[in-house]
């Protein structure tokens, strides 16, 4: 059951096969010639046979010269051959190289994206640190924080919020910006991932608090018998995360009947609606509420 | 709607994933795909007009159940314990495993399943089933589909009964 090792082994073999294939396209003829020459040079008998017709006295020096010149001459020929081959078999080479190049491009994009993310986070930091005077100045000038922040950065969107029973992974209540794939299954998978990670670290005390994948970020807030998970798309600053955590705590305290959501469908619907009105910001209102969310919990 | 977590468990290779697939898609695939971690799927079942959503967890099997991370079992209302009729070694831990799981999930609904019925003769099947320390609830074949629907349907029925009376 060593699936992991098997896969990496397969990859290596696959890479080797690709390389082998590349080699055979590029220098199949040359490789043959080379091995023939090498056989001659390595074998005294063969060499003897080839050299006999040559002048006896010149043999030593000729051989020395041949040996010295060989790599140089050979590389010139090979280079020329490669050029020709690349011209004539571009698509074939591209097909072989594209998985490798694809990986490199993906890595590059990922790297650039991280840089972009960091710079946006810095910008957010800057705006936040300009504090009360900044806000006051903007109030006087009639500017809205949201416009300022948004003009300087990406916005994040709270797409989904789940309240999930801790052990079973069953959904207690939820709300989403768009209709999404089966939330029950997402809740289960998230619970399994959480269990896996917590198990891997072996310490129950350290619970998973965030999952990041691609441009998504899932913030997890653990309570005794359930946990709350929020899926955000886009860049999320530390302040934003803290504000959200605070908002979740307040929500939970304000919603004592949450405990009954598992048994009672009406409660589940009530809680879900409240989640929606408190956390899910419709497109048209998003700009205004986004800043509120940054600065303080945003409900009654 | 009532939702319940159901786990498939038992030694590796007994046919958990195949039963899961057969139940969800009605199909059987010969290919052996090692399950990594857990897969979860939902299926809604009607019991006397009431809808129950089963969230079925297919977990990577270990030889004995105490090797599986306990958090996978937690909160499960239904436990399907699967054995392979063609490999007697998969029966070996039945008693210990069930004890272990009952300790962990005292209120759970347990269904013990002997799978791969198609691989053994009638005689051999009878002999095997009589030798078990617990009576087997279902004899199934993920390959032919025998008893697979019934297994999950009855699981849903028991879970609903438990929900209302338990
Ligand atoms: N003949 C037969 N083969 C089965 C049956 N169920 C599963 N298998 C095969 O047994 C192997 C292991 O099955 P799998 O579902 O992956 O087992 P798991 O490790 O318990 O998930 C696979 O090759 C399946 O095709 C069955 O009922 N009859
Ligand atoms: Mg499996």
Residue A227 lies in a domain: yes
Distance between A167 CA and the closest CA of chain B, angstroms: 5
* Cβ–Cβ gap A192/B4 under 8 Å: no
pLDDT score at A16: 65
Of all residues in chain B, the percent with pLDDT exceeding 70 is 90
Q: What is the CATH number of the domain that holds B13?
A: 3.40.50.300
Atom of ligand 1 nearest to the CA of B21: 15
> Chain A within 8 Å of B77 (Cβ-Cβ)?
yes
pLDDT score at A85: 56
> Chain B within 8 Å of A242 (Cβ-Cβ)?
no
More confident call, A129 vs B30: B30
Q: Is B114 in the pocket of ligand 1 (CB under 6 A)?
A: no
DSSP codes, A16-75: HHHHHHHHHHHHHHHHHHHHHHHHHHH-HHHHHHHHTTS-GGGHHHHHHHHHHHHHHHHH
Of B36, B42, B74, the CB nearest to A184: B42
Question: What range defines the domain where residue A168 resides?
Answer: 157-295
Q: What is the CATH number of the domain that holds A277?
A: 3.30.450.70
Query: Beta partners for A218?
Result: A211, A231
> Chain B within 8 Å of A265 (Cβ-Cβ)?
yes
pLDDT score at A124: 47
Distance between B110 CA and the closest CA of chain A, angstroms: 16
Chain B residue numbers touching A1 (CB-CB < 8 A): 12, 34
Best probe of the A interface among B3, B37, B69, by most A CBs < 10 A, is: B3
Residue A73 lies in a domain: no
Q: pLDDT tens digits for A210-234?
A: 777 667 788 899 888 899 999 888 7
Residue A188 lies in a domain: yes
CB pairs under 8 A between A and B: 56
pLDDT score at B1: 81
Could you give the 3-state DSSP secondary structure of residue B96?
A: helix
- Whether ipTM > 0.90 holds is no
Chain B residue numbers touching A182 (CB-CB < 8 A): 42
Instruction: Name the pairing type of β-strands A226-233 and A157-165.
Output: antiparallel
pLDDT score at A295: 40
Total structural domains within chain B? 1
d(CA A133, CA A137): 6
Find the helix or strand (DSSP H, E) in which A194 lies: helix A183-201
Total structural domains within chain A? 1
Chain mean position to CA A170: 28
Among protein residues, the one with the nearest Cα to ligand 1's atom 23 is: B32
Q: pLDDT tens digits for B76-127?
A: 999 999 999 999 999 998 999 999 999 999 999 999 999 999 999 999 999 9
pLDDT digits (tens), chain A, 300 positions: 334 444 444 456 666 666 566 555 555 555 666 666 666 666 666 666 665 655 455 556 666 666 666 556 556 665 665 556 555 555 555 455 444 444 554 455 455 545 555 554 555 455 454 554 445 444 444 444 444 444 334 467 888 999 999 889 999 999 998 877 678 888 888 888 777 677 666 555 566 777 776 677 888 998 888 999 998 887 777 778 888 899 999 999 999 899 888 888 899 999 999 999 999 877 655 554 444 444 433 332
3-state SS of A66-108 is HHHHHHHHHHHHHHHHHHHHHHHCHHHHHHHHHHHHHHHHHHH
Reported pTM: 0.64
pLDDT score at B155: 98
Average pLDDT over residues B26-35: 69
Of B1, B34, B72, the CB nearest to A3: B34
DSSP codes, A238-294: HHHHHHHHHHHHHHHHH-GGGGGTTT-HHHHHHHHHHHHHHHPPPGGGHHHHHHHHH
The CA B125 to ligand 1 mean position distance, Å, reads 17
pLDDT score at A230: 92
What is chain B's mean pLDDT, rounded?
A: 89
Q: Is B130 in the pocket of ligand 1 (CB under 6 A)?
A: no
Q: pLDDT tens digits for A43-65?
A: 666 666 665 655 455 556 666 66
Chain B residue numbers touching A269 (CB-CB < 8 A): none
B18, pLDDT greater than 90: yes
The CA B17 to ligand 2 mean position distance, Å, reads 4
Chain B residue numbers touching A196 (CB-CB < 8 A): 37-38, 69
Residues near ion ligand 2 (CB < 5 Å) are B 16-17, 35
d(CA A210, CA A232): 11
Find the helix or strand (DSSP H, E) in which A181 lies: none
The CA A170 to ligand 1 mean position distance, Å, reads 28
Closest CA relative to residue B4, chosen from B55, B38, B73: B55
Distance between B64 CA and the closest CA of chain A, angstroms: 15
pLDDT score at A9: 46
Residue A16 lies in a domain: no
User: Which among B9, B11, B16, B18 is the best mutation to test ligand 1's pocket, defined by most ligand atoms within 8 Å of the CB?
Assistant: B18
């Amino acid at each position: 059951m060593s699936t992991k090792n098997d896969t990496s082994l397969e990859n290596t073999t696959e890479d080797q096969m690709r390389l082998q294939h590349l080699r055979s396209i590029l220098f199949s003829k040359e490789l043959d010639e080379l091995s023939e020459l090498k056989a001659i040079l390595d074998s005294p008998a063969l060499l003897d046979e080839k050299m006999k017709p040559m002048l006896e006295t010149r043999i030593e020096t000729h051989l020395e010269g041949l040996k010295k010149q060989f790599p140089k001459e050979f590389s010139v020929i090979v280079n020329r051959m490669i050029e020709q081959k690349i011209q004539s078999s571009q698509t074939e080479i591209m097909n072989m190289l594209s998985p490798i190049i694809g990986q490199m491009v993906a890595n590059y994009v990922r790297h650039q994206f991280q840089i972009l993310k960091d710079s946006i986070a810095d910008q957010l930091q800057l705006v936040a640190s300009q504090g009360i005077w900044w806000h006051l100045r903007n109030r006087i000038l009639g500017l809205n924080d949201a416009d300022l922040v948004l003009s300087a950065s990406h916005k994040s969107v709270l797409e989904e919020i789940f309240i999930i029973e801790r052990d079973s992974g069953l959904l207690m209540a939820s709300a989403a910006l768009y209709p999404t794939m089966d939330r029950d299954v997402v809740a289960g998978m998230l619970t399994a991932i959480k269990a896996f990670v917590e198990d891997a670290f072996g310490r129950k005390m350290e619970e998973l608090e965030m999952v990041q994948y691609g441009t998504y970020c899932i913030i997890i807030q653990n309570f005794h018998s359930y946990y709350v998970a929020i899926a955000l798309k886009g860049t999320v600053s530390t302040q934003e995360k803290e504000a959200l955590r605070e908002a979740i705590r307040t929500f939970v305290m304000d919603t004592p009947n949450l405990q009954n959501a598992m048994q009672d469908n009406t409660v589940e619907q009530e809680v879900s609606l409240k989640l929606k009105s408190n956390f899910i910001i419709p497109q048209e209102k998003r700009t205004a509420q986004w800043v509120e969310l940054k600065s303080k919990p945003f409900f009654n | 709607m009532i939702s319940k977590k159901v786990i498939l468990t038992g030694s590796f290779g007994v046919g958990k994933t195949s039963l899961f697939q057969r139940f969800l898609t009605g199909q059987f695939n010969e290919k052996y795909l090692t399950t990594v971690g857990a897969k979860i799927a939902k299926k809604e079942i009607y019991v006397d007009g009431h809808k129950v959503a089963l969230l079925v967890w297919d977990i990577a099997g270990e030889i004995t159940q105490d090797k599986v991370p306990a958090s996978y079992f937690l909160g499960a209302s239904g436990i399907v314990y699967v054995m392979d009729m063609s490999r007697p070694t998969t029966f070996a831990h039945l008693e210990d495993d069930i004890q272990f799981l009952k300790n962990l999930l005292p209120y759970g609904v347990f269904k013990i399943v002997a799978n791969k019925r198609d691989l053994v003769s009638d005689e051999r099947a009878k002999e095997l089933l009589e030798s078990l320390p617990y009576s087997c609830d279902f004899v199934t074949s993920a390959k032919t589909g025998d008893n697979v629907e019934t297994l999950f349907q009855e699981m849903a029925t028991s879970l609903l009964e438990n929900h209302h009376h338990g």
